[in-house]
Structure 1
Amino acid sequence: MNAPLTDEQVKNVVQGPGDVEWRYEMRRECQEILPNLLLGPFVASKSLETLRSLRITHIVCIRDAKEAFSVRPRFPESFTYLTLDVEDNEEQNLIRLFPTAKQFIDQAIAQGGRVLVHCNGGISLSPAFVVMFVMQHYQLSWEDALHMVQNRRYCISPNGGFLTQLKEYEAIYRASQAVASSSYPNVNRTIARRKREDEDDEDGTDRYDDRKRALVDNSDHDDALSSTSTYDPDSMDVS
């Protein structure tokens, strides 16, 4: 889990590069949102030359089930794909599907790969997934995460249902973080307590022996004192 960003870092991350002039035709291209994580439309995934020039290794293909005949993995022999069949409407549950996508992206990047996430137009469906990923990656609010992605791919516009789920996901991931943070110190305390108990177990015999020896020594000393101060009947003999 990444450390939370400072207010200044959040501002810089959300604003993104200021030297990019958005052009309409750029909606047909893909843009890098995070290092090694790109977002774009299906058309960008149809060009093997483009994918290779971008050094893409993994592709998340998110499509409406009705589009399966056209929006599909085109180069399975060249790239590792994750295909998610969803519906691009406000009732579609994205939160349920997101963990699968996140795990795929995390593993790909951890292995040194570069991931393209796309849907048909790269406007609503796939951006919603990328916003959720960015939100958790940088521990941002849903609004900051949305603005961050928009500042790199200006044309995104998740539908109203997806926006509601982005708000819900912020609450979900923050609650998970709170649970993880609160349980971590307890683990440390438990480990420390067990360590002390183990040390006590290791030293217990020695300390017991020390106490035992002390008792023996004291009793021996008391016996010696008793033997020197024992009543001598001859000393009282006046006959």
Structure 2
Amino acid sequence: MVNLEAAVESFCIGNSDGKLIQKRNLCSEISSILPWLFLSGARAVREARLHELGITNVINTAVELPEQPLDNIEVTTVQLQDVPGANLSQYLHQICDKLESIRLSDGRALIHCVAGVSRSPSFVLAYLVKYGGMSLREAYQHVYIIRPCVRPNLGFFEHLIAFEYLERGESTVHMVTNPELGMTVPDVCENELHVLKDQRWALSIKERRGFENRYA
């Protein structure tokens, strides 16, 4: 059973406890998903650090971020908003194929959005489904262990579920609804929802981290 502390950690809400602060900081850094594939928020995109990691390609998946020229690094921009109604599917094959071409050419890629929580992780999950030999459930668990703040919005998860079915002929993630909270989430996040049976705690998370916008 997931306890309250685990829920706080999973939503990256920091407090005076050093362990929580450390996990929160992890989500502001560059996460290595595969030896050649990295995931981050915009704040972590620093040219010197990219060169240290040997990054050859940066993919920016946030429409609100300006294009950032980087020396000797190819930059690709995806015009995508982080809202459930955004059409993630129209870009999935394009970015998955781009990442695979980077891998085949022995390149190293960093994919990011504003926070590295919803948009860019969605593309990483899709890549792992299409080219990584993983189910969507396995992909999410893999990425979540490395970067516990990942949380694609509800609409993106629905696109990813459909993408997995088309690519693999199966759906390993399903949407579930908790009638007590009136909230729908992917079942891979269901343990987190169980912790939120206290309505006041759920409301606090909604207000502080935009939880309602993702899973309402």
The question of 1:40 aligning with 2:30 is answered no
User: Could you tell me how far apart the structure 2 residues matched to 1:77 and 1:51 are?
Assistant: 10
Percent identity for Structure 1 against Structure 2: 26
Deviates more, 1:73-82 or 1:109-118: 73-82
- Residue 142 of structure 2 corresponds to which residue in structure 1? 148
* Larger Rg, first or second structure (1 or 2): 1
Query: CA-to-partner distance for each residue in 1:185-221, whole Å, 9 max, x for gaps?
Result: xxxxxxxxxxxxxxxxxxxxxxxxxxxxxxxxxxxxx
CA apart distance, 1:73:
3.3
Aligned to 1:166, the other structure's residue is in SS state helix
The question of 1:88 aligning with 2:87 is answered no
TM-score normalised to structure 1 length? 0.59
After TM superposition, the structure 1 = structure 2 runs for residues 29-108 of structure 1, keeping only pairs within 5 Å, are 29-45=29-45, 47-64=46-63, 67=64, 71-108=65-102
User: Could you tell me how far apart the structure 2 residues matched to 1:89 and 1:77 are?
Assistant: 32
Query: CA-to-partner distance for each residue in 1:145-203, whole Å, 9 max, x for gaps?
Result: 1111111111111111111111111111114xxxxxxxxxxxxxxxxxxxxxxxxxxxx
CA apart distance, 1:94:
1.2
- Residue 125 of structure 1 corresponds to which residue in structure 2? 119
Deviates more, 1:24-33 or 1:117-126: 24-33
Gaps of 5+ in 1: 1-20, 176-239
**Does the 8 Å contact 1:108/1:115 carry over to 2?**
yes
- Residue 221 of structure 1 corresponds to which residue in structure 2? none
**Root-mean-square deviation (Å):** 1.8
Query: CA-to-partner distance for each residue in 1:33-52, whole Å, 9 max, x for gaps?
Result: 1120111101111x111111
In structure 1, give the amino acid aligned to 2:57. H
In structure 2, give the amino acid aligned to 1:102. C
Gaps of 5+ in 2: 1-19, 170-216
Higher helix share: 1
CA apart distance, 1:105:
1.1
- Residue 106 of structure 2 corresponds to which residue in structure 1? 112
Query: CA-to-partner distance for each residue in 1:51-81, whole Å, 9 max, x for gaps?
Result: 11111110011013xx1xxx23323432101
User: Could you tell me how far apart the structure 2 residues matched to 1:76 and 1:49 are?
Assistant: 10
TM-score normalised to structure 2 length? 0.65
User: Could you tell me how far apart the structure 1 residues matched to 2:66 and 2:36 are?
Assistant: 22
CA apart distance, 1:102:
1.5
Query: Number of residue pairs matched?
Result: 150
User: Could you tell me how far apart the structure 2 residues matched to 1:126 and 1:152 are?
Assistant: 14
The question of 1:162 aligning with 2:156 is answered yes
**Does the 8 Å contact 1:31/1:39 carry over to 2?**
yes
CA apart distance, 1:109:
1.5
CA apart distance, 1:25:
0.9
Aligned to 1:168, the other structure's residue is in SS state helix
